[in-house]
Amino acid sequence: MSDTALPGSKNPAARNFFAALQLDTRLLGMIGAFIVLCLVFNVFTDGRFLTPRNIFNLTIQTVSVAIMATGMVFVIVTRHIDLSVGSLLATVAAVMAVVQTDILAHPDILGLGHPAIWVIALIAGIFVGVAIGAFQGWMIGYLGIPAFIVTLGGLLVWRNVAWFITSGQTIGPLNETFTMLGGIGGTMGESASWIFGILAVGMALWLQIGSRRRKASHGFPVKPAWAEVTIGAITTIAILGFVGILNAYHIPKARLRRMFEAAGETMPEGLTVGYGIPYSVVLLILVAVAMTVTARRTRLGRYIFATGGNPDAAELSGINTRFLTVKIFAIMGGLCALAAAVASARLGFSTNDIGTLDELRVIAAAVIGGTALAGGVGTIYGAILGALIMQSLQSGMAMVGVDAPLQNIVVGTVLVLAVLVDIIYRKRTGE
């Protein structure tokens, strides 16, 4: 079973093509909207929107918000909200920046450029993020203060704790290995990207076959073989296509020449090298897989959705809903730390205003991705797609040259409309 929260027809005997594929129709709708959006922008930008370069940039710009949005799904599913994620990101970014530049880089400790710096800084950041998240979760779960209030307070507190940690200064430049988490500064290169893509395809197909076998062994109805093959083919094409696009974005000639010069070699004539998959995207993929597994295959995830659907029932079933709240907010804090690493690494510095308004982007991404504020419903992949749609809208409009105030008007309107469409959809399908 893969549908704790997914609407959509599950009738295996359906005659209709899409019904036989048993895909989440809501997801299809979102992907459809995303494709239309991309095509429209592509027309208005004279084909500049759907270039490997822009797709690469869109991807790395989305990562930070998308990582946090996966955690926001759990928060919103349990009928809470977290308004503090942007500020928490700033505090954690400040901690990681100070740890690596002021403490670890000190000659008496590890020294500038030591290879272990980035790991220690990241672990310190995750520790701080989880601790702050757990503390907020404790206030919500055990003291009974509404999440809205606790995290509204957190929004003000953590933004300014960050300010104190850095004395209001921009901290940097960050450790070179650390900045590889940021995006364009750290990519896998073409061959490794293809290997990663092929492994991902193998994994996806293995999971698909395994699920079918398990269902068959229990004697449950399974999809027709052609439907399985179609889904497998779509997955394969999507993954390899994505890798192909990222590989097709070539490192600019001048930069490549400088890289060769730095290595003391001369660049062969006509050589092109693609960037490949950025490490930040690998991180997002790992987070997405881990969070999806948590949501669907662990007791924690089951309890999160049960509590969101009916808190009283969850409690009567012996679920410790208070401690569950602590866990959820701790996860959110940990994800804020990962997002902080990506965001500050991308800038190469930790600034005071890092992550400003991210709480709204993250909540919007989760909601556009189908997470219901009433609780109990939401998917990880939906939130990531929501983040991607938000980012595409924003950078697409910037490329077209839409005035800045109008951009925000459009984004705000889209958020409200997306929720309206969702409500109408749920009414129609009776979900």
Partner 1 sequence: MATPLVEMKDMCISFGGVHAVDHVSVDLYPGEVVGLLGHNGAGKSTLIKILSGAYKADSGEIRINGEEVHIHSPRDARAQNIETIYQTLALADNLDAASNLFLGRELTSPLGFVDDDKMEAETRKIMGRLNPNFKKFHAPVKALSGGQRQSVAIARAVYFNAKILIMDEPTAALGVHETQMVAELIQELKKQGLGIFLISHDIHDVFQLCDRIAVMKNGQLVGTAKTTDVTDDDVLGMIILGKCPEGATPGPGALVDDTVLG
Applying CB under 8 A, the residues found at the interface with partner 1 are: 1-5, 10, 214-215, 218-220, 293, 296-299, 301-303, 305-310, 312-319, 376-377, 430-431
Task: State the minimum distance, in angstroms, from the CB of residue 1 to partner 1.
Answer: 4
Task: State the minimum distance, in angstroms, from the CB of residue 214 to partner 1.
Answer: 5
Q: What amino acid occupies position 421? A: V
Are the beta carbons of 195 and 188 closer than 8 angstroms? no
- Give the C-alpha distances (Å, rounded to integers) separating 76 from 318, 332, 365, 380: 22, 11, 12, 12
HEC states along 173-231? CCCHHHHHHHCCCCECCHHHHHHHHHHHHHHHHHHHHHHHHHHHHCCCCCCCHHHHHHH
* Burial track 211-220 (b if 16+ CB lie within 10 A, e otherwise): eeeeeeeeee
Are the beta carbons of 87 and 159 closer than 8 angstroms? yes
Give the contacts of 129 (CB within 8 A, at least 6 positions apart): 88, 92, 333, 334, 335, 336, 337, 338, 340
Closest to partner 1 by CB, 106 or 213: 213
Task: State the minimum distance, in angstroms, from the CB of residue 145 to partner 1.
Answer: 22
Closest to partner 1 by CB, 53 or 302: 302
Distance (Å, whole) CA 197 – CA 191: 10
Closest to partner 1 by CB, 164 or 220: 220
Task: State the minimum distance, in angstroms, from the CB of residue 278 to partner 1.
Answer: 30
Closest to partner 1 by CB, 142 or 164: 142
Residue 51, exposed/middle/buried by CB under 10 A (0-12, 13-18, 19+)? middle
Q: What amino acid occupies position 351? A: T
Distance (Å, whole) CA 426 – CA 431: 5
Closest CA to 390 of 66, 27, 24: 66
Closest to partner 1 by CB, 191 or 317: 317
117-141 helix and 321-347 helix, angle to the nearest 10 degrees = 140
Closest to partner 1 by CB, 324 or 390: 324
Closest to partner 1 by CB, 262 or 316: 316
Closest to partner 1 by CB, 312 or 403: 312
Task: State the minimum distance, in angstroms, from the CB of residue 292 to partner 1.
Answer: 12
Task: State the minimum distance, in angstroms, from the CB of residue 270 to partner 1.
Answer: 51
Closest to partner 1 by CB, 296 or 327: 296
Classify 348 as helix, strand or coil. Answer: coil
Task: State the minimum distance, in angstroms, from the CB of residue 229 to partner 1.
Answer: 22
Residue located via tokens 């027709």: 224
Task: State the minimum distance, in angstroms, from the CB of residue 431 to partner 1.
Answer: 8
Task: State the minimum distance, in angstroms, from the CB of residue 12 to partner 1.
Answer: 10
Closest to partner 1 by CB, 3 or 353: 3
Task: State the minimum distance, in angstroms, from the CB of residue 322 to partner 1.
Answer: 11
Number of residues assigned to the chain: 431
Task: State the minimum distance, in angstroms, from the CB of residue 314 to partner 1.
Answer: 7
Q: What amino acid occupies position 67? A: I
* Burial track 316-332 (b if 16+ CB lie within 10 A, e otherwise): eeebebeebbbbbbbbb
Encoding tokens for residue 350? 């930790």
Closest to partner 1 by CB, 306 or 387: 306
